[in-house]
């Protein structure tokens, strides 16, 4: 069974013996993202749980690659999660991530000068809210170490407002 762009996000895959061996031997020349997904496939996680670890649209082709190499196999189909545990609509997540980037734009460069540009770039390149949250935590730590607690508190306050749900009309 191979997945298509409209694959069921409830599908659960497990590593095969060859997949477990691949983690040690690296014989198949997997990309970093393919390897990361292979590591995360555990026979329990649904495909819906994997997108934070890859860019949008990558999961289907990665699953196909891993299956074609015999590294994973279909283990089953999970039940739908309860409504409150369902993943956010990807369009809403993209819009929220864009809003977050706008709210925090320039904050690290203001505090760290040109050294803040790396953090600004990492924030712009964040592929999920969780990745953006990690970048912001790293940034607050860098600001604290370099500029002191007061500067870190300014960035932390701004980030708390940015991570709050955006107001909708």
pTM over 0.85: no
Confidence of residue 132 (pLDDT cuts 50, 70, 90): confident
What per-residue confidence (pLDDT) applies to 4?
Answer: 41
pLDDT at position 3 = 40
Q: What is the pLDDT of residue 21?
A: 94
> What average pLDDT does the structure give for the chain?
83
Task: Please choose, from the candidates 102, 99, 97, the residue with its C-alpha nearest in 3D space to the C-alpha of residue 56.
Answer: 97
Q: Which residue from 19, 130, 12, 159 is spatially nearest to 75, judged by alpha carbons?
A: 12
**Across-strand partners of 11?**
77
Residues 2-15 have pLDDT tens digits of 444 456 778 899 99
pLDDT(140) > 80: yes
Per-residue pLDDT at 162 exceeds 90: no
* In contact, 56 and 109? CB cutoff 8 Å: no
Q: What is the pLDDT of residue 88?
A: 57
SS3 56: coil
> For 72-94, how does the pLDDT look when each residue is reduced to its tens digit (9 = 90+)?
999 888 876 655 545 556 677 78
- In the three-class reduction of DSSP (H, G, I as helix; E, B as strand; rest coil), residue 62 is classed as helix
pLDDT at 16 over 90: yes
């Amino acid at each position: 069974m191979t997945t298509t762009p409209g694959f069921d996000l409830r599908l659960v895959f497990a590593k095969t013996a060859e997949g477990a061996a691949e983690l040690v031997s690296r014989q198949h020349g997997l990309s970093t993202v393919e390897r990361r997904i292979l590591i995360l496939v555990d026979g329990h996680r649904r495909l819906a749980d994997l997108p934070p670890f890859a860019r949008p649209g990558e999961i289907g082709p990665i699953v196909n690659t891993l299956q074609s190499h015999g590294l994973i196999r279909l283990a089953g189909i999970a039940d739908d999660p309860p409504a409150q545990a369902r993943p956010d609509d990807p369009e809403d997540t993209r819009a929220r991530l864009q809003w977050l980037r706008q709210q925090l734009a320039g904050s690290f460069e203001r505090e760290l000068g040109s050294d803040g540009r790396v953090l600004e770039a990492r924030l712009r390149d964040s592929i999920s809210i969780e990745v953006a949250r990690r970048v912001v935590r790293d940034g607050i730590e860098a600001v604290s170490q370099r500029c002191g607690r007061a500067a870190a508190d300014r960035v932390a306050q701004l980030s708390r407002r940015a991570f709050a749900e955006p107001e909708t009309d």
